[in-house]
C-alpha cells in the first residue's frame, strides 16, 4: 500500500513539474518544448514564391518572434546608394564603350528569399529597370542621372548564384558567372551589382574582372569593408548585424526572464532593460508579423572607417542575469555574412547576457543538415532558428510538439 502511494505521489509531482515555469527561474526540463521561446532570425518564415509571411509559424506560441532587418528598406538603400554614385560619376569614364548606355550585371542570391527579392527590386526600381518581377532577366530599359547627363540603363545579364551543391548566395558561382559575363559582354559592362558581399567579392575574384568597373554589395562584411577602403569595392549596405544579433538574444533573454507584452520587444531594445542594457541602433517592431527589424545604412568610401571590424555596441555590457541555455541553428556554415559577421557578434554578446549558446550549422542545401541536429530539445530553455529554406518553419515547430 505504501509503495503504491509513493508511486502515485511521484507521478503527481512529475505531472505538476511539467507545467511549472522554467527559463531563468527553473530548469529547461520542466517547461514543455512547445511553450518555450522560439526566435527565427535572418530568414523570415515565408512563402518562397510569393514572399507572404508564414503567420501560422509565427503564431506557433506566444513566445515566437522574428528578428532581422528591414528588407524592403534595405533594397531601397542599396538602390539609392547606386543612384547617388552615378550622379557624381563621369559619364565618359563610366560608359566604357561610349555607346551612351550604362550596362550592368546583377548577382541574385536566392529567388525564394525575401531579402534577395527586396534587394533585386530596390536595385531595379532605382535604375528604372524594374518590370514587376524579381526573376532573372525580367527587366525593362531604365535611365539614370550620370554626372548631370540622363543616360539609358540596361541590365545586361542576371543570374541566381546557386552552387554545384545546390547552395544559394554562392560566391564561387558568382566568380564563374563574372568570368563568363566579362568574356561575353566585354566593355558593355559598366557596373556590377550584387545581392550580397559574398557574391560581390566572388566577382572580384574573376581573373578577367574589368579593372575600374564599380561594384556594389550588401552586408558590410569585414572583408568587404576592407575592400572599400582599398578602392576595390564601391559600396555596400550595413544591415546592422550587431543590432540584429543583440536583438535576437535580447528577445530570448526577456522571454526567459518572464517579460510579457510590449516589454518583450522594448526592454533592452528601445529602452533599458533591468540590467541597464540597451541596443544603440534603431530596431523597429512590427506587431502584425511579430518581427523586430534593424535599420540599414549605406557604406562607401566616405564612411567605411565607421564600420571596421571589431566595433561593438557599447550599450551592451556584462550582466548578472541567470544563466540560460539556447540551441541556435545556422543554415549554412559557409555563408560569408553569417560566419564572418553574425556568429562573431552572437558569440560576443551572448556571454554578456549570460546566454549559453549551442550552435548547429547546416550545409546551406538540405534542411536536414540542421534538423538532424535539432535534437535533445528538452535540454534547452529556448531556441533560435535560421532555416535553410524560408518555408521550413513547420519542420522546426513539429520537432517542438513534444
Domain CATH for 138: 3.40.50.2300
Residues 6+ apart with CB under 8 A from 14: none
- Residue 310: per-residue pLDDT: 66
93 and 35 within one domain: no
Percentage of residues of the chain with pLDDT beyond 90? 83
Tell me how many domains the chain contains. 2
- Co-location of 54 and 190 in the same domain: no
Predicted pLDDT of residue 22: 43
pLDDT tens string, the chain, 402 residues long: the values are: 433 444 343 333 333 333 334 444 444 448 999 999 999 999 999 998 888 999 999 999 999 999 998 888 899 999 999 999 999 999 999 999 999 999 999 999 998 888 899 999 999 999 999 999 999 999 999 999 999 999 999 999 999 999 999 999 999 999 999 999 999 999 999 999 999 999 999 999 999 999 999 999 999 998 999 999 999 999 999 989 999 999 999 999 999 999 999 999 999 999 999 999 999 999 999 999 999 999 999 999 999 998 886 679 999 999 999 999 999 999 999 888 898 889 999 999 999 999 999 999 999 999 999 999 999 999 999 999 999 999 999 999 999 997
Q: Which of 211, 238, 265 is a domain's end point?
A: 238
In-domain check, residue 187: yes
Which of 165, 162, 110, 115 shows the shortest CA–CA distance to 369? 165
In a domain, 294, yes or no: yes
Q: Specify whether 186 is located in the same domain as 127.
A: yes
Q: Helix 197-204 vs helix 222-229: angle between axes, to the nearest 10 degrees?
A: 50
Residue 17 lies in a domain: no
Which of 194, 219, 238 marks a domain boundary? 238
Q: Flag whether 147 is in a domain.
A: yes
Is 269 found in the same domain as 249? yes
Same domain, 279 and 340: yes
In a domain, 9, yes or no: no
User: In terms of domains, do 197 and 225 share one?
Assistant: yes
Q: Would strands 355-361 and 101-108 be described as parallel, antiparallel, or unpaired?
A: unpaired
Which runs of consecutive H residues, i.e. helices, occur in 88-240?
91-94, 114-127, 171-185, 197-204, 222-229
Identify the pLDDT of residue 189: 98
Q: What is the pLDDT of residue 309?
A: 67
**Are residue 249 and residue 200 in the same domain, yes or no?**
no
Which residue matches cell numbers 506566444?
A: 62
pLDDT at position 231 is: 97
Q: What is the reported pLDDT for 112?
A: 85
Q: Would residue 300 count as lying in a domain? A: yes
Residue 191 backbone phi and psi in degrees, to 5: -160, 150
Query: Quick one: 227 and 341 in the same domain?
Result: no
Task: Please report the pLDDT score of residue 32 as a whole number.
Answer: 96
Range of the domain at 262: 26-69+241-396
Residue 281 CB neighbour total at 10 angstroms? 18
Q: Are residues 93 and 133 in the same domain?
A: yes
Q: Which helix (H) or strand (E) holds 16?
A: helix 2-18
**Structure confidence at residue 50 (pLDDT):** 86
317 shares its domain with 269? yes
The verdict on 265 and 291 lying in the same domain is: yes
- Same domain? For 132 and 215 the reply is yes
Decide: 30 and 222 in contact? Cβ < 8 Å: no
- Pair type for strands 215-216 and 355-361: unpaired
Task: Name the domain boundary from 238, 262, 280.
Answer: 238
Residues 67, 247 contacting (CB under 8 angstroms): yes
Residue 21 domain-assigned?
Answer: no
Concatenating the DSSP letter of every residue in 360-383 gives EE-BSS-THHHHTT---GGG-SEE
- Of the candidates 119, 103, 101, the one whose C-alpha atom is nearest the C-alpha of residue 111 is 119
Residue 275 lies in a domain: yes
Amino acid at each position: 500500500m505504501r509503495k503504491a502511494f509513493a508511486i502515485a505521489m511521484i507521478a503527481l509531482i512529475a505531472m505538476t513539474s511539467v507545467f511549472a515555469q522554467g527559463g531563468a527561474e527553473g530548469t529547461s526540463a520542466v517547461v514543455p518544448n512547445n511553450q518555450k521561446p522560439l526566435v527565427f532570425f535572418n530568414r523570415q518564415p515565408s512563402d518562397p514564391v510569393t514572399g507572404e509571411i508564414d503567420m501560422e509559424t509565427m503564431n506557433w506560441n506566444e513566445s515566437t518572434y522574428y528578428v532581422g532587418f528591414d528588407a524592403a528598406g534595405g533594397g531601397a538603400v542599396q538602390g539609392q546608394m547606386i543612384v547617388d554614385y552615378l550622379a557624381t560619376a563621369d559619364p565618359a569614364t563610366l560608359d566604357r564603350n561610349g555607346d551612351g548606355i550604362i550596362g550592368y550585371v546583377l548577382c541574385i542570391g536566392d529567388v525564394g528569399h525575401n531579402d534577395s527579392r527586396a534587394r533585386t527590386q530596390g536595385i531595379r526600381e532605382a535604375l528604372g529597370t524594374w518590370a514587376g518581377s524579381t526573376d532573372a532577366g525580367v527587366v525593362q530599359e531604365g535611365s539614370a542621372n550620370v554626372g548631370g547627363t540622363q543616360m539609358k540603363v540596361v541590365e545586361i545579364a542576371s543570374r541566381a548564384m546557386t552552387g554545384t551543391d545546390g547552395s544559394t548566395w554562392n560566391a564561387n558561382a558568382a566568380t564563374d558567372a563574372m568570368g563568363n559575363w566579362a568574356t561575353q559582354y566585354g566593355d558593355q559592362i559598366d557596373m556590377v551589382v550584387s545581392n550580397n558581399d559574398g557574391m560581390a567579392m566572388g566577382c572580384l575574384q574573376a581573373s578577367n574582372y574589368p579593372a575600374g568597373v564599380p561594384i556594389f554589395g550588401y552586408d558590410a562584411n569585414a572583408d568587404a569593408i576592407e575592400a572599400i577602403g582599398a578602392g576595390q569595392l564601391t559600396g555596400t549596405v550595413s544591415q546592422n548585424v550587431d543590432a540584429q544579433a543583440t536583438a535576437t538574444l535580447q528577445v530570448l533573454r526577456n522571454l526567459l526572464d518572464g517579460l510579457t507584452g510590449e516589454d518583450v520587444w522594448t526592454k533592452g531594445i528601445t529602452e533599458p532593460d533591468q540590467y541597464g542594457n540597451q541596443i544603440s541602433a534603431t530596431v523597429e517592431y512590427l506587431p502584425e508579423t511579430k518581427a523586430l527589424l534593424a535599420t540599414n545604412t549605406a557604406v562607401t568610401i566616405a564612411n567605411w572607417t565607421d564600420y571596421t571590424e571589431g566595433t561593438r555596441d557599447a550599450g551592451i555590457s556584462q550582466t548578472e542575469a541567470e544563466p540560460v541555455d539556447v540551441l541556435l541553428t545556422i543554415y549554412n556554415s559557409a555563408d560569408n555574412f553569417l560566419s564572418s559577421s553574425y556568429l562573431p557578434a552572437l558569440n560576443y554578446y551572448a556571454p554578456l547576457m549570460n546566454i549559453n549558446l549551442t550552435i548547429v550549422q547546416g550545409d546551406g542545401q538540405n534542411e536536414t543538415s540542421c534538423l538532424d541536429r535539432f535534437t535533445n530539445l528538452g535540454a534547452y530553455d529556448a531556441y533560435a532558428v535560421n532555416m535553410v529554406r524560408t518555408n521550413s518553419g513547420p519542420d522546426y515547430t513539429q520537432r517542438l510538439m513534444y
